[in-house]
Amino acid sequence: MDETASHPPFFSVGDRLVLDARDDDWDLVIGDGPVVATAIHDGHRMRASLLPHLAVSEEGRMREEDPMTAALLPAGDVRLRIRASRFQVDLNRPRDLALSTNPDDTWGLKVWKGPLPEHELATSLAAHDRFYAMVAELMERLIDRWGCVLLLDIHSYNHRRDGADAPPAPAGGNPDIDVGATTLDRSRWGDAVERLVGALREHPAGGRRLDVRENVRYDGGGHFPEWLYARYGDKVCAVSLEYKKFYMDEWSGQADITVLDDLRSGLQAAVAAVRPEFTACR
């Protein structure tokens, strides 16, 4: 199925790009530039009609979401945050897995008590379709204006899964920032990715230099960057940024705002280091 089919236009173009068709599932800020930052797993909101079907606690659900990743969005000229929980609709998965009741699809976590009503599935899949239709139009508009786009797909991950008082996962397989760069044209954007990684390493957070490496935790970047690469090729450089949750206590949910500020500043500096390559596409 073409996820982008049969949707009216979301944007109009005059002196600047304007979002016409608003959607309650996302926040979108459009600035003038070729850098897009997304936080598609930041949201926690769940439809009231789905709440009776949940098997996981609210705390357990939030621990598997990517809270506060939207705090890093100012690095982008265009900033997109999804309000809905990834368990209501996972936009980093193909359509047929966007709302799954099989724990095998949620790393063993039993999210739902059992099968969901068909109308609930249809509502979430419609949101998945709207998102991809909107992003397709957005990318096409930005490519028309800038020639190419840098998209930063921002996520976070847990590293204390054994419990609040247990030792964290070994650092060897869990960098502070895992830069996922598997779904892009390396011959065109490889140098830009290396500069981005180098710049991230140069900006400490919480008083220490960060461990930033490429493609450590995941073989692929998820459906969203894979879709971007398949659709736009070398016109879009999609980079997934997985931040280890050292900026917060993943069990209590309390965040260190100072560390988050450091991470935001570091990402903004890294984008500034590679921006000329993307503004030169015009």
Q: What is the pLDDT of residue 40?
A: 98
Per-residue pLDDT of the chain (282 residues; tens, 9 = 90+): 566 667 889 999 888 899 997 789 999 999 999 999 999 999 999 999 999 999 999 999 999 999 999 999 999 999 999 999 999 999 999 999 999 999 999 989 999 999 999 999 999 999 999 999 999 999 999 999 999 999 999 999 999 999 999 999 999 999 999 999 999 999 999 999 999 999 999 999 999 999 999 999 987 779 999 999 999 999 999 999 999 999 999 999 999 999 999 999 999 999 999 999 999 998
Question: Residue 114's pLDDT is what?
Answer: 96
pTM: 0.96
Which tens digit of pLDDT belongs to each residue from 170-212? 999 999 999 999 999 999 999 999 999 999 999 999 999 999 9
Q: What is the pLDDT of residue 149?
A: 98
Q: What per-residue confidence (pLDDT) applies to 2?
A: 66
Q: Residue 88's Cα: distance from chain center in Å?
A: 15
Query: In whole angstroms, how far apart are CA 249 and each of 158, 189, 207, 254, 256?
Result: 9, 35, 18, 5, 8
Quote the CA–CA distance of 124 and 106 in Å, as a whole number.
16
The per-residue pLDDT for 3 is 65
| H-run or E-run covering 53 | none
Greatest CA separation for the chain: 55
Q: Who contacts 153 (Cβ-Cβ below 8 Å, separation ≥6)? A: 38, 40, 92, 180, 221, 222, 224, 225, 238, 239, 240, 241
Structure tokens at 201: 């390493």
Is the distance from CB of 248 to CB of 255 less than 8 angstroms? yes
Backbone φ and ψ of 54, nearest 5°: -75, 135
Nearest to 38 by CA among 135, 118, 183: 135
Q: What is the CA radius of gyration of the chain?
A: 19
Which domains does the chain possess? 11-279 (3.40.630.40)
